[in-house]
Amino acid sequence: MNDFNLLPIGNTDFPEIRREGFLYADKTELVYKLIKAKKSFFLSRPRRFGKSLFVSTLKSLLLGGEDNRMLFEGLWIHDQTDYDWPPNPVIHLSLSSIVTDYNVLGDVAPFDFDLQDDDGESGLTKAQRLEAAIIKRAVNQELRDKLVVIADEEKLDLKGNSAARLFESLIALLHAKYCRKVTILIDEYDAPILAEIESDNRAKAVRKVLKSFYSVLKDNDERRGFTFITGVTKFTQTSIFSTLNNLIDLTLDEEFANICGFTMEEFDSFFKIFGPEILAKLKTDGYLSAKATLKDLRDKVLEWYDGYSWDGKIKVLNPWSTLSFFSKKDFGNYWFTTGTPTFLDTIVTQRYENLSTFKSDSSITEELNAVDIGNFETKALLFQAGYLTVTQINRKVKPNEYYLSYPNLEVEVAMAKIFFSFKKNPFERTLLKRLQAKAALKFLTERNTLKFLKALESILSDVNYHLHLPFEAFYQTVFQFILDLCAQPYDSEGPVGDGRYDLHFISSSGDDYVVELKYVNDYKDELKTENNPKSKAISKTKAEDPVRELNRLKTKMDKMAKEAIAQIDLKKYINKFQGGANKIFKVALVIGGRTNTCALIEEAINWRAGPLGGDF
């Protein structure tokens, strides 16, 4: 296999990764520290962030024996003389695949709950109680099935009806069989709750089953050994936190800040392998200039995928997105598009005002590491889910004060897309008014550049200041939302010719429009570092001569518009649409700062140029 086939995207099976020679970021020194402590631990990290692979690594190590020791050859822990690889009985459960919805009660086994058991909640209707009962039975049956699989592998005969009783039986039987304390590894403990988080009734029904199930851990302290539990969130009223007083939370522990995700050293070891080929491809695509270096590409990758921190000091890269970037040889919202949690949809539509300031650093107390069903701080849930990260911690106050922000460009742009994707939120009513959007599209398809730009600038000026992101992808999203409001079909990032066009749509008259969008953030290029000697002079110029600054910006935008048209030609974006009777128009749209615009419209056949400009 070639180097790119060595990328373990989506593979969380440590033995398979090691046997097949996939690339692996060595976390075994941290594994060693945890195992030597012989305690019980909890870790919260976002989805697809390496939790399951870490648990699989723990399992291989704790199972012990020479065969498993061979899997660690070449890794940090392999040659540690004070670890003798003892065999341990292990219960490894992953709750990520738990199904919480059954349409027929007969599909699940009877157990200890009944329809009258409503967690003490008053006012539940009969339908709600029935719904809760179905959920409880479904989750109970799924847990039972997982435990039976382990028991069958160990040739054990479990006793009990409910999942909790089977769990207790399995621990007791394994302890008796091996005469050793039983290791407990539970991955994604909260997945069934998160699957139902939009419904308090359903989520609480799931929590009731899990609370009974996890209480077994407390009741079996004498038989239970090393315990490691992972999840996205820390729900305060599930019994692993309310009854396991000795459970150590590693989530914000500085010593384990890099337990998941790629450190800079780990990333660089991969980048040396894949960087040169990706650089060549992105130059060919036109995404990077011909003069771009490996350092330029590296900086761009870090801008997109780095920035996650749980202590405000150590930063790690998103492993899923980083590996996907290496595999696809291109930038994209890989982690975000693997599945936006349903609770995020609810937050955006119901808690919109709070989200508008998340682009800026904001403080929150230490409670950010705990939430509860129906009662949670928005920032706490977004932090635990990976949409916000710690930028710094103020330890001078108690409890500690955390400052949060978006971790990187991938999350920042993707969150902006979510803001613009909900037709029932305040945007449609007060921001991107349908009439404004229709007017902008009408002027564009009439090739009335001046009126189109005025309509577009009016739309941009209404966008909340906090929501403006200084990136091309953000303004591409705004343009897409304008088309959505007009019910205008379009496609984006379409592969054609020698690259990918930003947007393409067919007007009501049947003409093709190929759009290339560019963004310039005033003096962004000149101000890459605070130590740049030009920075003070540039700031002074902007403050003392705003007219000169606007003229400079307009000149730069005009030039970029012409370059965008040239790019459409050079990369042959229109080739896909030629050969028909319809006209084809090339559109170069340049956004400068927040509301300054410039556009150039040319007919691909007759090369007819429209007016250039906009109000500055």
**Do 219 and 81 sit in the same domain of this protein?**
yes
pLDDT given for residue 154 in this prediction: 95
pLDDT higher than 70, residue 339: no
**Cα 249 to Cα 559: distance, rounded to the nearest angstrom:** 55
Q: How many CA atoms lie within 13 A of 475 on its CB side?
A: 24
Secondary structure class of 358 (helix, strand, coil): coil
Instruction: Identify the residue with better confidence: 307 or 241.
Output: 307
- Of 215, 234, 256, the position where a domain reaches its end is 256
Question: Binning pLDDT at 50, 70 and 90, where does residue 287 land?
Answer: confident
Secondary structure class of 113 (helix, strand, coil): coil
**Cα 281 to Cα 290: distance, rounded to the nearest angstrom:** 11
pLDDT given for residue 343 in this prediction: 62
**Do 392 and 512 sit in the same domain of this protein?**
no
pLDDT higher than 80, residue 602: yes
**Do 395 and 323 sit in the same domain of this protein?**
no
pLDDT higher than 90, residue 352: no
Lowest mean pLDDT among 18-27, 34-43, 182-191, 367-376: 367-376
Rounded to whole angstroms, what are the CA distances from 588 to 436, 478, 563, 578?
Answer: 20, 15, 8, 19
Residues of the domain holding 106:
3-256
**Do 513 and 450 sit in the same domain of this protein?**
yes
**Do 276 and 211 sit in the same domain of this protein?**
no
Question: Binning pLDDT at 50, 70 and 90, where does residue 257 land?
Answer: very high
Per-residue pLDDT, averaged over 37-45, amounts to: 93
* DSSP code, position 234: -
Counted domains in the chain:
4
- Of 226, 256, 286, the position where a domain reaches its end is 256
Per-residue pLDDT, averaged over 300-316, amounts to: 95
**Do 37 and 137 sit in the same domain of this protein?**
yes
* DSSP code, position 298: H
Cβ neighbors of 428 (< 8 A, separation 6 or more) are: 434, 485
Per-residue pLDDT, averaged over 118-140, amounts to: 78
**Cα 537 to Cα 524: distance, rounded to the nearest angstrom:** 14
- Of 410, 433, 468, the position where a domain reaches its end is 410
Per-residue pLDDT, averaged over 203-215, amounts to: 90
Instruction: Identify the residue with better confidence: 177 or 245.
Output: 177
**Do 11 and 66 sit in the same domain of this protein?**
yes
Question: Binning pLDDT at 50, 70 and 90, where does residue 473 land?
Answer: confident
Per-residue pLDDT, averaged over 491-520, amounts to: 86
Is residue 223 situated within a structural domain? yes
pLDDT digits (tens, 9 = 90+) for 413-442: 777 666 665 444 444 444 446 778 888 999
Q: How many CA atoms lie within 13 A of 435 on its CB side?
A: 2
**Cα 49 to Cα 562: distance, rounded to the nearest angstrom:** 42
**Do 373 and 461 sit in the same domain of this protein?**
no
Q: How are strands ordered across the β-sheet holding 512-520? A: 490-496, 499-506, 512-520, 584-592, 596-603
Question: Residue 513 pairs with which residues in a beta bridge?
Answer: 505, 585
Instruction: Identify the residue with better confidence: 125 or 248.
Output: 248
Q: Are 175 and 156 in contact (CB under 8 A)?
A: no
Sign, Cα dihedral of 304, 44, 147, 227: positive
pLDDT higher than 60, residue 262: yes
**Cα 282 to Cα 501: distance, rounded to the nearest angstrom:** 14
Question: Quick one: which H or E segment has residue 504?
Answer: strand 499-506
Q: Are 243 and 218 in contact (CB under 8 A)?
A: yes
Question: Binning pLDDT at 50, 70 and 90, where does residue 615 land?
Answer: very low
Written as one string, the DSSP assignment of 200-225 is: HHHHHHHHHHHHHHHHHHHHTTTTEE
pLDDT digits (tens, 9 = 90+) for 519-573: 887 544 433 434 444 444 444 544 556 677 778 888 888 999 999 999 998 888 8
Is residue 451 situated within a structural domain? yes
pLDDT given for residue 581 in this prediction: 63
Q: What percent of the chain has pLDDT over 90?
A: 44
Residue type, 305: Y
Instruction: Identify the residue with better confidence: 96 or 361.
Output: 96
**Long-range contacts of residues 19-27, Cβ cutoff 8 Å, at least 24 apart:** 19/71, 23/270, 23/273, 24/75, 25/262, 25/263, 25/266, 25/319, 26/75, 26/76, 26/266, 27/54, 27/57, 27/259
Per-residue pLDDT, averaged over 3-7, amounts to: 85
Average per-residue pLDDT for the chain: 82
pLDDT given for residue 18 in this prediction: 97
Q: How many CA atoms lie within 13 A of 480 on its CB side?
A: 20
**Do 134 and 107 sit in the same domain of this protein?**
yes
Is residue 404 situated within a structural domain? yes
pLDDT digits (tens, 9 = 90+) for 146-165: 999 999 999 999 999 999 99
**Cα 313 to Cα 135: distance, rounded to the nearest angstrom:** 42
Please choose, from the candidates 458, 480, 457, 422, the residue with its C-alpha nearest in 3D space to the C-alpha of residue 592.
Answer: 457
pLDDT given for residue 425 in this prediction: 45
Q: Which two tokens stand for residue 261?
A: 């995700």
**Cα 124 to Cα 122: distance, rounded to the nearest angstrom:** 6
Is residue 207 situated within a structural domain? yes
Beta-strand runs (E) in 379-422: 389-394, 401-405
